[in-house]
């Protein structure tokens, strides 16, 4: 069921959005050559404890997960793009790292993701990250009262196609509120002017993720991490966005 938030409830969601944004900012600053993925997870875990927040991931066990997730971050490296389960891995020069984080604070959830290059940058990786960021901005721009859900999906897909990337629509954006995942599903490609009519109070996570040379993925033996079928690299960008009468409000905006 799709739930619309009142203006008061949207305002109540702001602290969770600011907290999620602050954690991702800290993780982006921390990610460097020689840092272990488990160190990043522990940093986020400590920030959760300090804020009195609750992880959305530790006990998360949807049908596609092999077991409860058990960590507070998704850390996807290189050919991994989504749901990366943190493990004992030390970041190397040139790694492409995507970090996805969701938490509950004061009864409300926010969800956001970013991708960074560790150490030496490869132009093709920078272009891939740029494509997800441009697509995210395009999707947010369409998150307006009176538009259709397909307008958001179309805008994201158009950017992907312009950059020459294929789009997987198995996983995408979603409703956000008291829980991390709700209706509606927001695919990363679609047809403009189709689907659900957007109304004030709808809060959704918009999350473009692209792979360099494929749209096919498989699940790693860890039961969670999704990797590209051809070992090409992936990138992921995400914000939690409230649709308001005055336009889209990015609850997880980072300074």
Question: Is 238 part of any known ligand binding site?
Answer: yes
Find residue 228's DSSP bridge partners: 217
Nearest to 172 by CA among 184, 186, 191, 159: 186
**Angle CA 236–242–247, to nearest 5:** 105
Is the preceding peptide bond at 77 cis, omega within 30 degrees of 0? no
| CA proximity to 72, closest of 109, 44, 95 | 44
Measured between alpha carbons, how far is 171 from 236 in angstroms, rounded to an integer? 12
Non-local (6+) Cβ contacts of 222 within 8 A are 66, 85, 87
Q: Is 100 a known ligand-binding residue?
A: yes
- CA separation for the pair 150, 155 (Å, rounded): 8
The verdict on whether residue 104 carries a ligand-binding annotation is no
- Are 228 and 180 spatial neighbours (Cβ–Cβ below 8 Å)? no
- Is residue 207 marked as binding? yes
Residue 45 annotated as lining a ligand binding site? no
Report the chain's C-alpha Rg in angstroms: 17
Answer yes or no: is 161 a known binding residue. no
Spatial separation of the C-alpha atoms in residues 151 and 143, rounded to whole Å: 8
| Cβ atoms of residues 198 and 186 within 8 Å | no
Residues marked as binding for a divalent metal cation? 100, 111, 174, 207, 238
Residues marked as binding for substrate? 83, 181
Residues marked as binding? 83, 100, 111, 174, 181, 207, 238
């Amino acid at each position: 069921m799709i739930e619309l938030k009142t203006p008061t409830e949207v305002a109540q969601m702001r602290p969770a959005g600011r907290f999620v944004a602050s954690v991702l900012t800290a993780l982006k600053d921390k990610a460097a050559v020689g840092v272990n993925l488990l160190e990043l997870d522990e940093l986020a875990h400590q920030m959760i404890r300090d804020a009195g927040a609750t992880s959305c991931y530790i006990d998360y066990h949807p049908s596609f997960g092999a077991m409860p997730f058990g960590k507070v971050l998704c850390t996807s490296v290189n050919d991994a793009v989504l749901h990366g389960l943190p493990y004992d891995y030390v970041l190397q020069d040139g790694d492409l790292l995507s970090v996805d984080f969701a938490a509950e604070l004061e009864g409300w959830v926010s969800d956001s993701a970013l991708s960074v290059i560790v150490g030496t940058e490869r132009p093709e990786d920078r272009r891939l990250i740029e494509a997800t960021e441009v697509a995210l901005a395009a999707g947010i721009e369409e998150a307006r009262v009176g538009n259709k859900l397909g307008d958001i999906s179309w805008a994201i897909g158009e950017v992907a196609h312009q950059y020459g990337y294929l789009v997987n629509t198995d996983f995408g954006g979603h409703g956000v509120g008291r829980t991390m995942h709700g209706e509606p599903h927001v695919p990363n490609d679609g047809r403009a002017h189709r689907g659900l009519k957007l109304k004030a109070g709808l809060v959704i996570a918009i999350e473009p993720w692209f792979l360099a040379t494929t749209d096919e993925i498989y699940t790693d033996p860890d039961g969670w991490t999704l990797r590209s079928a051809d070992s090409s690299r992936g990138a992921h960008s995400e914000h939690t966005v409230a649709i308001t009468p005055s336009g889209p409000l990015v609850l997880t905006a980072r300074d």
